[in-house]
Structure 1
Amino acid sequence: MTSKPKLAAPAFTRIGGLAAIAFAALIVLANVIMIPAGLPLTGADIGEVTAFFATERLAVGIGSALTPAAWILATLFGAGALAALWRLERGRREAWSLAGLAGLVLQNVTFAGVVAARLALTSTASHDRSATTALWALHDALFTLNGTFLALALVGLSIGGRRTGLIPPWHGVLGLVAAALQFSSATLAYWVIGNGGVLGLLGLLGWLMWVVWLVAYGAVLIRHDLETPGRVRIAV
């Protein structure tokens, strides 16, 4: 029987890269749906919150429907980055990629609380002001503190990527600056929630940089798979 070369299935790193880009697309899409509909900013007046969640239930429902897939994609991205970095890191007795994956998993858990609060607000906004006030306060706290875990993911995968040579210097710097902004917002959560304003821009700017960082990391992982030797196997 004649043997012929056959392309191997995509490596897990490529799957992780595609997941990173799809994750970035989903979180941007969710915001494109929610923000034009009038999603209140952190620290918004309770009257604005009540009006939004009482009248924009469909927007909240669609935005929430996108998040389970986004959490799975985020985890696949972290695992793909770990697959690319772990062998080299282990030789150096380092584990930055593990820290990055832990950050992604923890932000999934925390943001599940944010989405749960939003869904609950669609039920309380029309008839229970006290419950709405409490849920919105919880929502704002979880949303702002989530910057801690985004910062951990950014730091872990940026440092791991730079020390193994996986990502270029500008990419690592972008990740660390975004991490600093996210962590600053989480650290100042009490004042961000109470005052918003300029402090609220810390988390927003860090989030925008996080999205760019995600897409760039996804492209790196895809390219890493395509450039890895041994991507051809023989089928008999």
Structure 2
Amino acid sequence: MKPIANIYLRSFLLTLFACSFYTSAGQLIDSSHVSIRQDQPDEVYVKFRALSGSRKLIRIESSLQNNTAVLNYIFKDCSSAAFEWYFDTIVDLDQLNPGSGYNVLVTSYLDTNTVDMNCFMRATYEYVDSVYYPASAIFIGQPEKLVAQNLFTVYPNPVRSYFKLEGISPNTPKVKDVFLYGSRGELIRSWLVPGKTVYETEGIAPGIYTVRVQLYDDSSHILRLMISE
């Protein structure tokens, strides 16, 4: 059961988006939880990326409770090409409450929807799509950094006791840290050993997890991993 505050906020944001973008073809295709350190920022900036590679920045005004926001996204379906924007699984949150003068640390971002990129319509809530954890405080006005396109795959997948990263080449920046997150965005395990090639998963319960690979060029790469019995 969701807290009353979250249910109210969810309805409020849905109404706000509906007033801004809704048409008869509009649908809610994603809900995301964004946890932050700073108390009650009044604005959240969410970035979308179009199929063409262009971007769109949406401002949501909200009254956040308990440092948590529930963000709802509304899009047209594939019957109309008038609003061809889809939800990018990585969300920039570097402008929370701009102008307030303090820094904001985004402690977790969890996308709980698997989006069908071929059709702008609601997809099923089955697996965790991505988790984004900035390593340190994000300064307001800092140039944006999007998570880079994945260079890696995990092998084997599913795994039982360990996995390796494939796709590393002499031209690839070296791996700095690797993090494993659970379905609720919680940190399960981290490997903070530069140059490590084998990542042990013994003792971790079976399920679907998200791997974040941090490189020395400050880019992050998000992968999905299944741990079997």
TM-score if structure 1 supplies the norm length? 0.23
Greater strand percent: which structure? Answer: 2
Greater relative contact order (Cα 8 A, min sep 6): structure 1 or 2?
A: 1
Structure number with higher helix proportion? 1
Structure label with greater radius of gyration:
1
Could you state the TM-score of these two structures normalised by the residue count of structure 2? 0.24
